[in-house]
Amino acid sequence: MNSKPTIIFDPYPRNEEMVFTTDVEKELNKISKLVSHFGSRAPDNLVEENLSDTEIIVGQTSMPKERLDKAKKLKAIINVKCNWEPNIDYIEAHKKGIYVLSAAPAMAPAVAEACVGYAIALSRGTIQNYNKFLKSEEKYGIKGNGKAYSLFNSNVGFIGFGNLAKNLLPLLKPFNCNISVYDPWLSYEYLESQGVDSVSLEKLLSNNKFIFILAGVTSENEGFINKEKLELIEKDSSVILVSRAEVLDFDEFINLAEKNKFRAAVDVFPEEPVPSDAFFRKESNILFTSHVAGAMHFSYKNIREMMMDDIRQILKGMPPTRLQRAEPHQAMLRRDR
């Protein structure tokens, strides 16, 4: 009788409620020899003593070349935090035929849904109307909507065209938006085939009433949306930041938004949790949320379902079908936290 394959389950900072519910635990124990650790990254001794027999690692366990060489049976590394960390030798894993997978597609639908909500809240002045109502300063009907504008038939720009953008695109179809995209990793022809216009960053920033910042951060694009670029944004546009704060000059972004150069919704920050004394923690026209756009039970259910689908596939000797595969050279450039 063949022994069960070993799976190391090391999902920190994900916890049991997110990725290790009773049904997941029951099935993994049935189909594998399960080695699990929660509350922190798995200690080195736990990883090392099981590495030679391990076929799947779930988590962000450090896997440099030395460990990959020891893991003779390893078939896949599944990152359930949905990013690419620089603690894996992606090129070596690719050479060895080891799948490196991310659950990022599982989070994208909820974030895309939040993007639509942020955009409408900004363009309708929802925060301002709410605050006026609390002070008994509200105006009714058209008088209360003097500065409001609609998402319908608007010019919309996406900075980045990855999982988030691909989930946001169909949600915007009922609004009949004219959508342009800046993504230097994708060809003009590919973007055109997706029904969007491929444009320069400068054109995107200056020509759109709604701008969604959806790009991941890499060693090549940190801070690429600098003060000069931010000043190109059309007056009173609605700008939604839901990807990584490191792609722009965050302080200048906040400064311009507070001066009403444009309207802004912000769900991600350079430092999280945000320090209690952060300069932008004050009454503001900016719509702030605490990195909650994708953090829903709906999203974690998606992660669990995609993870288990691909674990079953891989253990059958079949390729994964649900999770996102790492492209080695691009993954090595990422600077996710």
Q: Please state the rounded mean pLDDT for residues 221-248.
A: 96
pLDDT of 152 over the 50 cut: yes
Answer yes or no: is 321 within a domain: yes
Instruction: Provide the pLDDT for residue 334.
Output: 74
Quote the pLDDT of residue 335: 65
> Do 205 and 248 belong together in one domain?
yes
Distance in angstroms (rounded) separating the CA atoms of residues 78 and 252: 36
pLDDT bin (cut points 50, 70, 90) of residue 24 is very high
Same domain, 189 and 258: yes
Residues 274 and 147 in one domain: yes
Q: Cα(235)–Cα(92) distance, rounded to whole angstroms? A: 48
On the question of pLDDT at 277 being above 60, the answer is yes
Domain co-membership, 120 together with 242: yes
* Residues 57 and 167 grouped into a single domain: no
> Are 89 and 146 found together in one domain?
no
Output the CA–CA distances (angstroms, integers) from residue 176 to 94, 153, 154, 171, in the order listed.
41, 5, 8, 10
- Kindly tell me if the per-residue pLDDT of 195 is higher than 50: yes
Q: Are residues 46 and 139 in the same domain?
A: no
Considering the domain architecture, whether residues 260 and 112 belong to the same structural domain is answered as yes
Residues 194 and 131 occupy one common structural domain: yes
Residue-level pLDDT at 218: 83
Q: Within this chain, do residues 118 and 53 fall inside the same structural domain, yes or no?
A: no
pLDDT tens per residue, range 237-246: 999 999 999 9
Say if residue 150 is in the same domain as residue 260: yes
Give the integer Cα–Cα distance in Å for 130 and 137. 10
Query: How large is the average pLDDT for residues 42-64?
Result: 97
Q: Provide the domain limits for residue 145.
A: 107-288
Residues 313 and 205 grouped into a single domain: no
The sign of the CA dihedral 216, 217, 221, 225 is positive
Mean pLDDT, the chain, integer: 96
CA-nearest of 281, 205, 207 to 248 is: 205
Q: Per the domain annotation, does 1 fall within a domain?
A: no
Largest CA distance in the chain: 77
Angle between helices 163-172 and 104-124 (to 10 degrees): 50
**Cα(77)–Cα(262) distance, integer angstroms:** 42
Residue 44 pLDDT level (bands cut at 50, 70, 90): very high
- Give the pLDDT band (50/70/90) at residue 117: very high
Tell me what pLDDT residue 330 has.
Answer: 84
Cβ atoms of residues 166 and 108 within 8 Å: yes
Residue 217: the pLDDT is: 86
For the entire predicted model, the pTM comes to 0.93
Domain count, the chain: 2
Q: What's the CATH number where 142 sits?
A: 3.40.50.720
Confidence of residue 1 (pLDDT cuts 50, 70, 90): very low
